[in-house]
Amino acid sequence: MRNLSKQSAICIAAAAFFIFNSCKNDDPDPRASDEILFNPNLTYGTVSDIEGNTYKTIEVGDQVWMAENLRVTQYNDGTTIPNVENELSWKNTTSPAYSWYENKEGTYAIPYGALYNWYTVNSGELCPVGWHIPSVEEWETLIWVNLDGQGLAGGKMKEKGFTHWESAYIYAATNSSGFSALPGGFRNSGDGHFYQLGEFGYWWSSSEKFDSPYALRLNFNDNYTYFFSSITSSGNSIRCVKD
C-alpha cells in the first residue's frame, strides 16, 4: 500500500507540474493588452483610415496628432501594402512592406499598430487623406514648442503606468500631452528579427538627412526624445499629423 501511495503521489506531482508549465507557456504576453491608457482629463477626437480603423486624435498646441499607432494595410488609394513575414525577405526588400510584431496580428496589431519600412513611408500615401507622416521639423515643433524640450517631452508623450512600458525603470511618464506613446519595438534591418517591445518606441519621420531617413525614439528608462538616422529596411511605427 505504501508503494502504491508513493506512486500515486509521484503521478499527481507530475501531472501538476505538466499542468502548471502548460498554463505558463500559454500565458498571454503582458505587453499585448489592447487597452491604451489615454489621458482621461483631455478631450480626444477621431479619424478613420481607408479600411475603417478608427484612431483617437489629440490637439497639442497648434498641431493635431493621432494618439494611436497606424495599423492600416492599404495605401489611401486602396492599393494593398505587402505583408512580409519571412526574415530574409524583410532584410533584403527594397520595396514597400509592413509587418506585425513577431508576425502576430491578433496579439499586437492593437495596441501597437504595424511596423512599416521606409519605402512604405516614402510613398506619401500611407496616412488617411488630410493627414501625413510628420517631418523632423513637425516632430521638433511638438517637442520643443509644445512640450518644453527634449529632456521633458518624452514623459509628456508616453502612456502613463506600467501596462505597456517596462515597469522596472520607467520614469515619471504623465501622458499630459495625450499623445499616448507606446513601446512598439522595431523590426531589425540586419536580420529581420523583432526587438524591444515594451522598452522602446520608434516612429518614422518623412525627412531625410545625409541620404538617410530620420526617425524618433522614446526610451523606457528616461524622458528624453532622440532623433536618429534609421535604415530603409527597418520596421518602425507611424503616427500621422493633420495637414
Handedness of CA 177, 66, 158, 208 (dihedral sign): negative
Name 218's bridge partners.
201, 225
Q: What is the pLDDT of residues 98-125, one digit of tens each?
A: 999 999 999 999 999 999 999 999 999 9
Is pLDDT larger for residue 229 or for residue 172? 229
Q: What are phi and psi of 119, to 5 degrees?
A: -65, -35
CA-angle at 153, arms to 109 and 59, nearest 5°: 65
For 207, counting Cβ atoms within 10 Å of its Cβ (0-12 exposed, 13-18 middle, 19+ buried), the class is: middle
Range with the poorest average pLDDT among 21-25, 82-86, 226-230: 21-25
Name 209's bridge partners.
212
User: If residue 217 lies in a helix (H) or strand (E), which one and from where to where?
Assistant: strand 212-219
Q: What is the pLDDT of residues 43-85, one digit of tens each?
A: 999 999 999 999 999 999 999 999 999 999 999 999 999 999 9
pLDDT cut 70: percent of the chain above it: 86
For residue 224, pLDDT over 70 is answered with yes
